[in-house]
Structure 1
Amino acid sequence: MFVFFRDVHKYLPTVSYLDGINVTPSAVKTEDRSALLPKPRLSYCDSDAVRRVVEKFLQEYIQLYDTTEPETIRKQLIAAYDDNAEFSYSTNTLEHHTQSRGDIETYSTYMRGSRNIIFEDRWVGNPDRVRYKGSMDIVVQLAKLPSTKHLVETFLLDIDFYIDNLCGFTLRGLFIDGAEQNSPKPHYKLFMRNFLVVSTGEGTMAILCDTLQICPITDMAADSYRDMLTSAALEANDLPGPSGVNQPVHSNITGSSNGVPSIVVTAPPPTPQPIDPSIKRQMIQQFAAQTGMNLAYSERCLEDNNFDYEASGRRFLEIRSQIPPEAFQQ
């Protein structure tokens, strides 16, 4: 084992944790290696038309997936999957890692169907136990997974490719699930979901392959992820797109170059006119939570748009780069 550690340190001298064992680095870290890493970017897509179709699809999908009654509501997602679609997921945890995995019952539910290669011995003899084929089989499994609440303000959407009638895209972000949704201090999970879809008509699509990765994370990691989104948003206006020029401004794109990273600023249920003061307060609080602005600036934005929530959201995204920093100071 010592020889193995020595060989690793020959090329990676600052490694301090290897194969689950704390080891003494052979060299002291003297430089900030984070400066050597590329700066994070918010979202990638070079086609507005494709982006709009994908975002509309995801909005409808997440609205059905995020439910307190997954056993019934998620079965409506059968229309989103091709008859020959495949779905699998993995819960990415290390057996001896000390980080919290959240609610035990919720975690156990995930592990029963997880296709994690670290625990391959549990399913290698029967791979179909953790691989779901066909729209019916898939939605039955989705209905068994814990109820969820995705934090849309943390979403990152990348359109990986589109060719002919096929499109691949990846959605990342944070969510809470199960009993954690009612907790004053919930445990967050990070997810990455890869979709391969096929066009089924004008503006519609069906999922051919759906792969979900779930990773319980610490509060510190969740904060770090949010900080990364904020930093990337501040850098976005100056970063060149794939054509060598700045990315075009997209009013609703996830992590747009002048907006808060989210698929869309969702509107609350319709309210009667005139708007009751208590409803206004709720709208202000929700708008502040989704945009990151403080209550005063959120109220001002809503007032300027006659408390039209969707119009306020669009306006916020349009002028995001011009909003003063104090608007985001709580």
Structure 2
Amino acid sequence: MSFRIYRNLAVTTRVQPCSRDGFSSDREVFGGCRIVREHDDRCGGPQFRNRKGRGPFRARMHGDYQGQRPWRRGGPTGGRGGFGPNPRSRFEDDDGDCVMGADKQDGAAQRRYNPYGRPGRHGDGHFDRDRRGGGGPAYRGGGPAGPGGGPGAGDRAGNNKMGGWFKIVIPYGKKYDRKWLLTALQNLCPMPFTPVKFSTEGHRALFYVEDASTANALAKVSRKITDTEGYKVIVFSNPCAPPIVDLKPEEIESLKQCMSKRFEGSQQALDLSSIRSDPDLLSQNAEIILNRRHCMLAVLKIIEENIPELVSLNLSNNKLFKLDDMADLASKAPNLKILNLSHNELRTERELDRVKGAKLVELWLNHNPLCDAFKDHPTYISAIRERFPRLLKLDGHDLPPPIGFDVEAPTVIPPCKGSYFGTDDIKILILRFLQQYFSVYDSGDRQPLLDAYHDGASFSLCMPVSVQNPSRCSLGEYQKDNRNLKRLKDPTTRFRLLKHTRLNVVAFLNELPKTQHDTACFNVDVNTYTNTLLSFTVTGVFKEVDGKSRDSVRAFARVFIAVPAGNSGLCIVNDELFLRNATTEEIRKAFAAPAPTPSSSPVPTLSAPQQEMLNTFSLKSGMNLEWSQKCLQDNEWDFDRAAQIFTQMKAQGKIPDVAFIK
């Protein structure tokens, strides 16, 4: 028999007695469904009557009951709400939250509802409870069957493959004393738990636990605690991300004291197993959970500052499911030989790549999920030893000695070399060109750069692929001209962003922000040089001197391809500029010292006559002060003799061009 429920049809009728559902003959119905009276306004009160999916009207229309007879008390096994082979009365309740009503005004038993609000979507608590925990594998597939489970606790806990974190929420829990509430939960919960970050939000109390089975057990405590007012305490359990908790100074001090007690100086061994339940830390209310990044980093910092000679480290029983935060272990404890990671939650051997820099000879990984991922034991040993070639003992078992050459890899990175020019002549040529080019580029007018470019010259500007959102990037003003070939696939756009001919190139350069380059930090590398072609790369930093990004420091790399021009000049045929934001270190070093130009080179203290002679000689010879002083000193400050020698050497072409750069 099919029928339709009109939820908003306010019509009162009478129905005949129905022994199958236990209704009396004088039963009011509302739009085809029986009325259930609310206990108070906090669960199913008037404010919920028009809310979609609330109350008893929704329960009988839920899609899970399609194809079944919702009024049957008996039926196939694995059903919900009394559908099983042992049907119970609709008013039975193992938790004691539903009782037979004594009010017979309408000729029927009344239902007492939970005063704290419904933990599920359905008005019928009996159906709702069975949906949460007693559905069996044919329905949710989560948690042990039976009533009393939290809202979705079984399936949520079961689906959380890595254990993970769960938020435990107690509606209206703010009115309870914290100690009373946690004690009551612990007394009924079959599993011990440590509440993490207990707090209140609005009328709710909440805390976190890091275990699916513990969260499931807490959810089953729901409605089994009665407060002094006779109300039931509801417990919700939901999977969540790890809570963010910063270590306070007093917690760091407590952690130091705890690690000091767990350190064995004679063996240089530190035992941090199950540190989250250390009684000293718990007594100080210090929550040290090593699978949280800030806790692991704090431990590594303490090791680095106090026991860098550490040889053995035990991190077992800490629920570690990743080792990303231990990437610096080898540098913090360079002498580490023994590492115990047993009884954790590591799921793949790839996690060990984070710590493979450590020169381990003994490693413990037993009772981790990764140990079951190999087809046999030799494969397991091979995979671990691939990351730790010097390993002699694994999970307490001796391994055969490793085969290989015991060659120490160099640990000191060679210092970065400076500029590379190839020959002194090319060095002089490029340095003179760069000084002239960037002095014009950093001036107010870049139009004279027309003399530096070939008639058919090309120019392009490029930035990293990650710089794609102009509103979030300080390089946004350059974005419209970014010709990054990884990002641009349209050939028309690629061609448009390539500037052709020297007139277009210089016109574009004039549109770019005004700059000041730090020539002291320039690094030059010559890529190719022949008699007719020269290619070199210049890297360095500059800052903008006007506009909204004034004083912003940028890093750049510029590739010039040039051909000879005149007797001792260069003409650019291709120019590519790569821009990015400068790093913190580059900003710190930028403009730290004045540019070492020849004219500003330090000059030893001279007497007044010598200084006057030097200025006169530099003016008449055309050389800068450095070379003029060298010429006068070589000739014992004899002005006429120095002038004669200068004239002879200049006629013979023996004076380098760098001597005339001022």
- Quickly name the TM-score band, shorter chain normalised: 0.5 to 0.7
Q: What CA distance in whole angstroms lies between the structure 2 residues aligned with 1:24 and 1:181?
A: 45
The aligned residue for residue 280 of structure 1 is: none
Structure 1 residues 115-264: aligned runs within 5 Å: 115-120=483-488, 124-179=491-546, 186-223=551-588, 226=589, 264=596
The answer to whether the aligner puts 1:85 opposite 2:457 as a matched pair is: yes
Corresponding residue of 2:466:
94
State yes or no: 1:52 paired with 2:424: no
- Output the CA distance in 2 between the equivalents of 1:35 and 1:169: 32
Alignment deviations for residues 253-289 of structure 1 (CA, whole Å, 9 cap, x no partner)? xxxxxxx996x51647xxxxxxxxxxxxxxxxxx7xx
Letter in 2 for 1:50: I
Q: 1:220 to 1:200 in 2, by over 3 A?
A: closer
CA-CA distance at 1:36 after TM superposition: 5.8
The equivalent residue for 1:110 is 478
Q: Does 1:27 align with 2:354?
A: yes
**Inter-partner Cα distance in structure 1 for 2:453 and 2:516:** 21
Label 1:38 to 1:203 Cα distance change in 2 as closer, same or farther (>3 A): same
2:526 is matched by which residue type in structure 1?
Answer: I
Report the structure, 1 or 2, having the larger helix content: 1
Q: Percent identity?
A: 22
Q: For residues 113 and 219 of structure 1, what CA distance do their matches in structure 2 show?
A: 26
Instruction: Give the number of the structure with larger relative contact order, counting CA–CA contacts within 8 Å between residues 6 or more apart.
Output: 1
Counterpart secondary structure, 1:86:
strand
What does residue 442 of structure 2 align with? 66
Q: Aligned partner of 2:544: which letter? A: D
Cα 1:26–1:189, aligned 2, differ >3 Å: closer, same or farther?
A: same
AA of the residue aligned to 2:514: S
Query: Alpha carbons of 1:188 and 1:51: their partners in 2 closer, same or farther (altered >3 Å)?
Result: same
Is residue 154–residue 261 contact of structure 1 (8 Å, CA) maintained in 2? Answer: no
Q: Distance in 1 between matches of 2:467 and 2:587?
A: 21
For 1:321, the equivalent position in structure 2 comes to: none
Give distance in 1, aligned partners of 2:476 and 2:582.
Answer: 16
Q: How many angstroms apart in 1 are the aligned matches of 2:526 and 2:532?
A: 14
TM-superposed CA distance for 1:38, in Å, is 4.0
C-alpha displacement of 1:145: 0.7
Q: How many angstroms does 1:65 deviate by?
A: 0.4
Deviation of 1:24 (Å): 7.0
Q: CA deviation at 1:95?
A: 3.8
Tell me how far 1:84 sits from its aligned partner: 1.1
Q: Please give the alpha-carbon distance, in whole angstroms, between the structure 1 residues aligned to 2:552 and 2:356.
A: 32
* SS class of match (1:194): strand
* 1:114 positional shift: 1.4
Question: Matched residue of 2:518: which SS?
Answer: strand
Q: CA deviation at 1:215?
A: 0.9
User: What are the ranges of 5 or more consecutive residues in structure 1 without an aligned counterpart?
Assistant: 1-12, 16-22, 231-259, 269-286, 288-297, 316-330
What SS does the corresponding residue of 1:189 show, helix, strand or coil? strand
AA in 2 matched with 1:49: D
Deviation at 1:115, TM superposition (A): 0.9
TM-score (norm 1): 0.55
Change (3 A) 1:109 1:192: same
1:198 to partner: Cα distance: 0.5
Could you tell which deviates more after superposition, 172-181 or 107-116? 172-181
Partner residue of 1:265?
A: 597
Match of 2:447 among 53, 75, 80: 75
Contact 1:188 1:219 in 2 (8 A): no
Cα distance 1:31–1:38, how it changes in 2: closer, same or farther (>3 A)?
Answer: farther
Counterpart contact for 2:462–2:579, Cα < 8 Å: yes
**Residue identity matched to 1:120:** L
Contact (CA 8 Å) 2:468, 2:479: kept in 1 or not? no
Write the letter of the residue equivalent to 2:605. E
**Secondary structure in 1 aligned to 2:534?**
strand
Query: SS of the counterpart of 2:466?
Result: coil
Whether contact under 8 Å (1:45, 1:158) holds in the other structure is yes
In structure 2, the gaps of 5 or more residues are 1-325, 329-349, 360-408, 616-623, 630-662
